[in-house]
Structure 1
Amino acid sequence: MAKLEIRELKTWVAGLVILLFAAVPIVSVLTDQAFYMAQYSRIMIYALAAVALNLILGFGGMVSLGHALYIGIGAYGVGMLDFHGVTNGWLQLLAALGVGGLFATAIGAVVVRLKGMTFIMITLAFAQMGYFLAVTLRTYGGEDGRALSSRSQMYLLDFANPVVLYYAIFACLMATLWWVNRSITSRFGMAIRGSKSNERRMLALGFPTFRYKLAAYVISAQICVVAGFLLANLTLYASPSYMQWMVSAELIIMVILGGMFTVFGPVIGALVFLLLEEWLSNFHSASFPAFGELVNEHWLAVLGVFVIVVVLTARNGVYGYVGKRGRTP
């Protein structure tokens, strides 16, 4: 199969997944199953966060175990202001992006100078600090978090309507994919990818790699803040659990599972991971009930085996199964 044909095939697969997302509300209304809309809203929110993480992980080589911190900041931007009677979604989002930007710039200025395990552990440490800080905020629910009084009021967008919220999430995901796809082939993207391959050579060529890497880290974090804002509106809840390191680990798994050398791979990874999570955790077998209970109880182990098989057999994850192995976006 020619390289051009592989790229076209991948484009068709991506198009079909996008059509699936776009059609979910229609199917949900026709079948009277609101669960589908909530489920795929969650999938797209995590896909948005995974695409953001992939900007620095897949293309920049920076393995962050702390991006859940920014999801939490986005969620608490809604929860805290809602507690004080501020339900204007634009103000909530602006406040969350402001705080998230400050945190990302301060943390990024430290971590992007580091490499390997040091980078991983320090991003994890900052995220855990954010988690324990949220736990101590008794006014806002402490360890249990707090329920929102209502969804954010966006004026032009009625988030109280699940269909409007769904398509707002869909639009954010599509806009982010478009931007990342354009960015990785720009000077900015080439500098990020070049820094991953050989930072010394990029410095010798006159590229200020620190600035590019810091910008990528901050942009990635801010997209996760938006994901957290949308997640709080979807669940009507702000919880410290959004900041747990396990959430960051799941995002990394989604990126690797889908394909971290591709733009659309993290979307496939989020889709496969969360659908498998739902299916395995509710697995039943009429013929072998004991086997069904075993899968229910140890579904994470089954999922882990699946991830290992994919990583060993396809360099670009599930998306890499489409045609040959390659670096096509």
Structure 2
Amino acid sequence: MRDLLRRIILWGGLALLCVLPPLADALGEGFYTVMVSRVLILALGAVSLNLILGYGGMVSFGHAAYLGIGAYVVGILSYHSGEWFGTESAFIAFPAAMLVSALFALVTGAISLRTSGVYFIMITLAFAQMVYFFFVSQQEYGGMDGMQMWARSAAGPLDLSDDASFYYLALVLLLAVLFLKYRLVHSRFGLVLRGIRENERRMKALGFATYRYKLVAFVLSGMVAGLAGAMMANLTEFVSPSLLHWTRSGELMVMVILGGMGSIAGPVLGAFAFLVLEDVLAEITQHWMIVLGPLLILIVLLARRGLYGLLTPEGRSK
């Protein structure tokens, strides 16, 4: 029964997402298209964090760095679009955002993965804060105030300035990443990664180079987060250091835990639940965070495997 409910919710939710833009326009509520686009993008960021947190057991408190780097790469390329040929194109800006984020993740991971526990958490946070203050100091790109993009990236025949087209791009990217993540975590690499999460010493004794596996997962996670940042910059047409702040890392972590760590669709459910709760409570009171905090604690206590765990029978493979 629970398995049937899970299928109905997941497939019904996907069907609703597919028809949301025309449905919102028909109801005269077009702003829902933009709002859900933001949810899909943050869900993409949460999915990237879940790869290392839920499957690798790596508690990174600096994941916002890759989100912000991806956004700033797109913003800077847009800023210089009149000087640098082709930088306004999404086919250049998006891969560049993913590449720079991956390179930073490689450097961060190469250092932080030599530690564990609270030391790992603090090093990832320290790297994120370094990037945050670096962009705060860049006055040419707006400093603390951020910078406005001239326009959304050009994507050939796809008009990203149209909210519906942008929404479907965000949805397709999220689904593609979920599919690739499913294939990855059910491959030999994913099995080793989960083994490392459970008992790294035993995996080393079996002959696996655990450091390399964790580093590859860390880089892949940063790359996907960079893509999410590139999409966020295009959605808002604005880039600021707030995307890099440690509180953003905390929000992504809450989405993963709330939705269900170590599950494919869990972070997506967590992103929707977190942002809907935030939006609803903000309409009721300006001190909505005081209400949201205990509510999230209650949800986590009652659903220890997250929202996705409520829909999945015990012992069932994710």
Q: TM-score range by the shorter chain?
A: over 0.9
| Aligned partner (choices 298, 306, 310) of residue 317 of structure 1 | 306
User: CA-to-partner distance for each residue in 1:60-108, whole Å, 9 max, x for gaps?
Assistant: 1101111101111111111101111131121112222221121111111
Q: CA deviation at 1:326?
A: 4.6
Q: Could you say what secondary structure the match of 1:282 adopts?
A: helix
User: CA-to-partner distance for each residue in 1:223-265, whole Å, 9 max, x for gaps?
Assistant: 0000000001100111110000000000000011111131111
Residue 14 in structure 1 maps to residue 14 in structure 2: no
Aligned to 1:297: 286
Partner Cα separation in structure 1 for residue 289 and residue 313 of structure 2: 29
Partner Cα separation in structure 1 for residue 144 and residue 121 of structure 2: 25
- Given that 1:316 and 1:326 are in contact with CA atoms closer than 8 Å, whether structure 2 keeps it comes out as no
Partner Cα separation in structure 1 for residue 101 and residue 316 of structure 2: 31
Aligned to 1:64: 60
Q: CA RMSD in A?
A: 1.3
User: After superposition, where does 1:1-329 map in structure 2 within 5 Å?
Assistant: 6-85=2-81, 86-283=87-284, 296-322=285-311, 324-326=313-315, 328-329=317-318
Q: CA deviation at 1:325?
A: 4.3
Q: Could you say what secondary structure the match of 1:261 adopts?
A: coil
Structure 2 regions of 5+ residues with no counterpart?
82-86
Partner Cα separation in structure 2 for residue 263 and residue 58 of structure 1: 10
Partner Cα separation in structure 1 for residue 219 and residue 4 of structure 2: 32
Q: CA deviation at 1:220?
A: 0.6
Q: CA deviation at 1:214?
A: 0.5
- Given that 2:3 and 2:313 are in contact with CA atoms closer than 8 Å, whether structure 1 keeps it comes out as no
**Residue identity matched to 2:306:** G
In structure 2, the CA distance between the partners of 1:62 and 1:323, relative to structure 1 (3 Å rule), is closer
- Given that 2:51 and 2:262 are in contact with CA atoms closer than 8 Å, whether structure 1 keeps it comes out as no
In structure 2, the CA distance between the partners of 1:115 and 1:327, relative to structure 1 (3 Å rule), is farther
Q: CA deviation at 1:6?
A: 4.0
- Given that 1:315 and 1:325 are in contact with CA atoms closer than 8 Å, whether structure 2 keeps it comes out as no
Partner Cα separation in structure 2 for residue 226 and residue 110 of structure 1: 23
Partner Cα separation in structure 2 for residue 112 and residue 250 of structure 1: 22
Partner Cα separation in structure 2 for residue 241 and residue 326 of structure 1: 40
Partner Cα separation in structure 1 for residue 50 and residue 312 of structure 2: 22
**Residue identity matched to 1:41:** S
**Residue identity matched to 1:298:** H
Aligned to 1:290: none
Q: Could you say what secondary structure the match of 1:297 adopts?
A: coil
Partner Cα separation in structure 2 for residue 20 and residue 207 of structure 1: 43
TM-score, normalised with respect to structure 1: 0.92
Runs of 4+ off more than 3 Å: 5-9, 323-328
Q: CA deviation at 1:323?
A: 5.2
**Residue identity matched to 1:318:** L
Partner Cα separation in structure 2 for residue 220 and residue 105 of structure 1: 10
User: CA-to-partner distance for each residue in 1:180-223, whole Å, 9 max, x for gaps?
Assistant: 11211110101110001111111111111111110100001100
Partner Cα separation in structure 2 for residue 216 and residue 123 of structure 1: 15
Greater displacement, 19-28 / 230-239: 19-28
Partner Cα separation in structure 2 for residue 257 and residue 38 of structure 1: 23
**Residue identity matched to 1:30:** A
Structure 1 regions of 5+ residues with no counterpart?
284-295
Percent identity (aligned)? 46
**Residue identity matched to 2:230:** F
In structure 2, the CA distance between the partners of 1:75 and 1:90, relative to structure 1 (3 Å rule), is same
Q: CA deviation at 1:328?
A: 3.7
